[in-house]
Amino acid sequence: MALESPQPTTDGVHSLLADPKFELMPFDSMGEQLDHLPEGATVAVTTSPTLGIDATIEWTEKAAAEGYEMIPHIAARYVEDREHLDEIARRLTEAGVTDIFVPGGDREEPAGEFASAYEFLVALEESEYEFEEVGITGYPEGHEFLSEETLAGAMEQKAPYATYIVTQLCYDPDAIVEWVAEIREQGIELPVDVGIPGVMKYQRLLGISQKVGVGDSIKFLRKTSGVLGFVKQLVGSRGKYTPTALVEGLAPYAGDDQYRLRNVHVYTFNQVPDSEEWRREMLER
HSE, CB side, 13 Å, CA atoms: give it for residue 103.
21
pLDDT in tens, 157-214: 999 999 999 998 888 899 999 999 999 999 999 999 999 999 988 767 666 655 544 4
pLDDT at 272: 96
> Which of 158, 162, 152, 160 shows the shortest CA–CA distance to 186?
152
| 93, 58 contact by CB (below 8 A) | no
Q: What is the pTM of this model?
A: 0.88
Give the torsion through C-alpha atoms of 185, 248, 99, 101, to 10 deg: 70
The separation between CA 57 and the C-alpha centre of its own chain, rounded to angstroms, equals 18
Q: Strand runs (DSSP E) across 54-189, as ranges?
A: 69-72, 99-101, 133-138, 164-167
pLDDT at 201: 81
pLDDT at 171: 83
pLDDT at 238: 54
pLDDT at 220: 42
HSE, CB side, 13 Å, CA atoms: give it for residue 98.
4
> Which of 6, 16, 12 shows the shortest CA–CA distance to 256?
6
C-alpha separations of 163 from 131, 133, 158, 270, 283 in Å: 10, 6, 10, 26, 27
Residues of the chain with pLDDT under 50: 1, 8, 212-218, 220-221, 223-228, 230-231, 233-237
Query: Could you give the domains of the chain?
Result: 12-199+242-273 (3.20.20.220), 200-241 (no CATH)
C-alpha separations of 48 from 75, 78, 140, 172, 193 in Å: 9, 10, 23, 26, 21
pLDDT at 1: 44
pLDDT at 240: 82
